[in-house]
Structure 1
């Protein structure tokens, strides 16, 4: 049964997916198709690696901060935008096409770069997400304190 809140969630995911797909298309126009990059699918690799890093950061922040706001952010940006931006189907198609065309070196390097690069980018995203979720320490933003422990405002 589709409830109004589920319908709202579906709408946010669809809207995010539209933006992500458009962004992926624009990146592929900017970088060029594999034919324009010596047979190597640079655009697909770039969006998948960038998406892995951003998703790692988003998932980490959302899991640490929790709440409805972060659940919705994960739906919109994680499932929607990044789901539309990254592409497993084009990765598989690029690999199959290169393999059928006899470009074994491209297949091996592209698969390795995607897998290893994706793990590294996700790890970096998680590390960044932990720092973002932790935020600055309370003492870092407290400013100078008076003898009573409150900020007087004159010291800055």
Structure 2
């Protein structure tokens, strides 16, 4: 009966997203405590977004290229990709931090913060994809 329901309505799959999201959120919180601001720039937010982009790129490439059976691929994608990376990364904090920099009159830092985070995230994702491709068995 539960198999007839769409994946987003299946309790076990939602549980995987919840588990991954809770873990990712706790990891982001821990990084936020451990990594201080550099001036007024919240380095922890940059770090979690860049690391999350790398992990997501590597994960999705790995699952697409040499992943396990479909059920296991879905479980990994939901737990680690949607859940963990979704909870770990925080573009809402990026927007909030940018607003705080702008309100403090630090327009140059705000622009560098936004563009730097996006550029580093794109590069990290590409690197994750490249490393996952490279590690694929022949």
Superposition TM-score, scaled by structure 2 size: 0.89
Number of equivalent positions = 131
Report what 2:32 is aligned to: 28
Q: Take 1:76 and 1:65, find their aligned partners in 2: how far apart are those partners?
A: 18
Q: Which runs of 5+ in 1 are unaligned?
A: 138-156
Query: Does the 8 Å CA contact 1:20/1:82 hold for their aligned counterparts?
Result: yes
Report what 1:19 is aligned to: 23
Q: Which has the larger radius of gyration?
A: 1
Runs of 4+ in 1 over 4 A off after TM superposition: 2-5
Superposition TM-score, scaled by structure 1 size: 0.79
Between 1 and 2, higher relative CO (CA 8 Å, sep ≥ 6) is seen in 2
Q: Take 2:105 and 2:60, find their aligned partners in 1: how far apart are those partners?
A: 38
Query: Does the 8 Å CA contact 1:62/1:71 hold for their aligned counterparts?
Result: no
> Are residues 1:9 and 2:10 paired?
no
